[in-house]
Amino acid sequence: MVKISERVNAMQQSAAILVDQKVRELSIAGRDIIGLGSGEPDFDTPEHIKDAALAAIRAGKTKYTAVDGIPELKAAIKKKFYIENNLSFDISQISVGAGGKQIIANAFAATLNPGDEVIIPAPYWVTYPDSLKVWGGKPVIVECSQTQNFKMSPGQLKAVINDKTKWLIINSPSNPSGAMYDANELKGIADVLINYPQVNIMTDDIYEHIVFDNRPFVTINQIAPELAGRTLIVNGVSKTYCMTGWRIGYGAGPVEIIKAMAKIQGQTTTHPSSISQHAAVGALTGEQKFITTHVEAYQRRRDTVVKALNETDGINCLTPEGAFYVYPSCAGSINKIAPNGMCIETDEKFALALLECEGVAVVHGEAFGLSPHFRMTTAAADEKLKEACIRIQRFCKNLV
Ligand code: PLP
């Protein structure tokens, strides 16, 4: 039998991907399942982006490209940062990979030595801890509860930051909580970071455009330009442009990290798909009006879901400021018995029983490092979300 490496054995599979697989299996078996576990827009990729890809195919843009991005795409990214964030990057500070996920993996691979610590505020996107553990990095989880709006305070950062800290991860708007740091909150975090010059900052801005109630989006480079020399911005086209399957993400930051990331990419995937890169140029340089329409839909759905969940026995849901998830607490359901006889000892049991009893698939909070909660996507049709909420209400009412 082939022996798998200890590092990979220590890794967990993505909980969101596992829930998706389960939804597929149950649906094939004929169950009426509402899958709200995944993290992707339900809208199709806009036509003008598909056209850019088709044009690239027809023009024969089907060969190997530069390792970390075609010049046209890097130029489009540079322009995006300048226009949207008022940040100036040189082309040499930009790296394109097969999704934000690969950019994050490349950055960890490029910088981590065994024992290096990475501070991750929880709840966090499931991938961060496992992506860094492969390289011997040590996740340092900071629990940021619902009572503090799922955001880390400067005091909490101060309590865990030390000489071994290599990175701090900021993800705003957050997957799974939808919490967003405002300029003041980022300033508080930056003031702590100033005193630790060896700490790099990874700011995952992938939900930058999915913000509600006209809140302004801010990234830490805008608040603390003095940290720019050690900040890597992670972003991508998956969420804003409904391009999850195209696999294009990008990073912008210090040249030395960007160069090391290219070295890794050159020896692993070589580069992301040439056709997807051209489609991403179409996305970043094409018309952007549809984004507003999508955000309006996400906001409307957020409002419907938050209201319904807060009318549900034992559930308490904060109103997300961005992204397309809700992260309600199910503390009021813990230790109750579900109609299938299962005792809801944990949020994992809550999600399992909900799936078995009512066919609604959500991801348990433990996977995101903060319990007892569950994550439910709001990137689904209004009717589907309404039906899911009716089922969750019935499920919770029937708990004894
Ligand atoms: N960062 C966060 C917070 C995410 O939620 C995701 C996807 O779910 C990603 C990064 C990576 O997205 P992609 O690899 O599709 O660019």
Q: What is the pLDDT of residues 127-149, one digit of tens each?
A: 999 999 999 999 999 999 999 99
- Cα dihedral angle (125, 366, 161, 6), rounded to 10 degrees? -80
Is 90 exceeded by the pLDDT of residue 19?
A: no
Is 90 exceeded by the pLDDT of residue 314?
A: yes
- C-beta of 151 in contact with ligand 1 (< 6 A): no
Instruction: Find tokens 């300033």 and name the residue.
Output: 187
- C-beta of 100 in contact with ligand 1 (< 6 A): yes
391 pLDDT tier (thresholds 50, 70, 90): very high
Rounded to whole angstroms, the Cα distance separating 136 from 181 reads 29
Specify whether the CB–CB gap between 49 and 283 falls below 8 A: yes
| Mutation test residue for ligand 1: of 150, 181, 206, 233, the one with most atoms within 8 Å of CB | 206
Question: What spacing in Å lies between the alpha carbon of 90 and ligand 1's midpoint?
Answer: 24
| Mutation test residue for ligand 1: of 14, 95, 127, the one with most atoms within 8 Å of CB | 127
Question: What spacing in Å lies between the alpha carbon of 236 and ligand 1's midpoint?
Answer: 8
pLDDT at 22: 82
Question: What spacing in Å lies between the alpha carbon of 323 and ligand 1's midpoint?
Answer: 11
Calculate the alpha carbon distances from 65 to 33, 154, 271, 309 in Å: 42, 43, 7, 48
- C-beta of 249 in contact with ligand 1 (< 6 A): yes
Question: What spacing in Å lies between the alpha carbon of 91 and ligand 1's midpoint?
Answer: 23
Over residues 177-206, the pLDDT tens digits come to 999 999 999 999 999 999 999 999 999 999
Over residues 233-285, the pLDDT tens digits come to 999 999 999 999 999 999 999 999 999 999 999 999 999 999 999 999 999 99
Tell if the pTM clears 0.85, that is, is over it: yes
Question: What spacing in Å lies between the alpha carbon of 39 and ligand 1's midpoint?
Answer: 8
Over residues 322-336, the pLDDT tens digits come to 999 999 999 999 999
176 pLDDT tier (thresholds 50, 70, 90): very high
pLDDT at 203: 98
**Would you tell me the crossing angle of helices 47-58 and 274-285 to the nearest 10 degrees?**
140
Is 90 exceeded by the pLDDT of residue 21?
A: no
pLDDT at 18: 79
Specify whether the CB–CB gap between 277 and 73 falls below 8 A: yes
| Mutation test residue for ligand 1: of 45, 101, 150, 242, the one with most atoms within 8 Å of CB | 101
Query: Taken in order 322, 14, 362, 40, is the CA torsion positive or negative?
Result: positive
14 pLDDT tier (thresholds 50, 70, 90): confident
126 pLDDT tier (thresholds 50, 70, 90): very high
pLDDT at 116: 98
Is 90 exceeded by the pLDDT of residue 16?
A: no
- C-beta of 39 in contact with ligand 1 (< 6 A): yes
Is 90 exceeded by the pLDDT of residue 11?
A: no
Nearest to 281 by CA among 319, 250, 317, 254: 250
pLDDT at 255: 98
- C-beta of 244 in contact with ligand 1 (< 6 A): yes
Q: What is the mean pLDDT of residues 303-319?
A: 97
8 pLDDT tier (thresholds 50, 70, 90): confident
- C-beta of 369 in contact with ligand 1 (< 6 A): no
Calculate the alpha carbon distances from 103 to 69, 84, 261 in Å: 12, 21, 8
| Mutation test residue for ligand 1: of 209, 239, 241, 248, the one with most atoms within 8 Å of CB | 239
- C-beta of 329 in contact with ligand 1 (< 6 A): no
Computed over every residue of the chain, the mean pLDDT equals 96
Nearest CA to ligand 1 atom 10: 100
Query: Taken in order 366, 367, 369, 375, is the CA torsion positive or negative?
Result: negative
- C-beta of 286 in contact with ligand 1 (< 6 A): no
Chain centroid offset of residue 300 CA: 21
Is 90 exceeded by the pLDDT of residue 339?
A: yes
- C-beta of 238 in contact with ligand 1 (< 6 A): yes
Is 90 exceeded by the pLDDT of residue 158?
A: yes
Specify whether the CB–CB gap between 95 and 143 falls below 8 A: no
**For the chain, which domains are there?**
6-44+290-397 (3.90.1150.10), 63-285 (3.40.640.10)
Residues 6 or more apart in contact with residue 282 via CB below 8 angstroms: 48, 49, 51, 52, 53
Give the distance between the most distant pair of CA atoms in the chain.
64
Instruction: Find tokens 């709200």 and name the residue.
Output: 36
DSSP conformation class of 328? -
Question: What spacing in Å lies between the alpha carbon of 350 and ligand 1's midpoint?
Answer: 25
Over residues 371-380, the pLDDT tens digits come to 999 999 999 9
Q: What is the mean pLDDT of residues 153-171?
A: 98
pLDDT at 137: 96
| Mutation test residue for ligand 1: of 131, 205, 238, 244, the one with most atoms within 8 Å of CB | 238
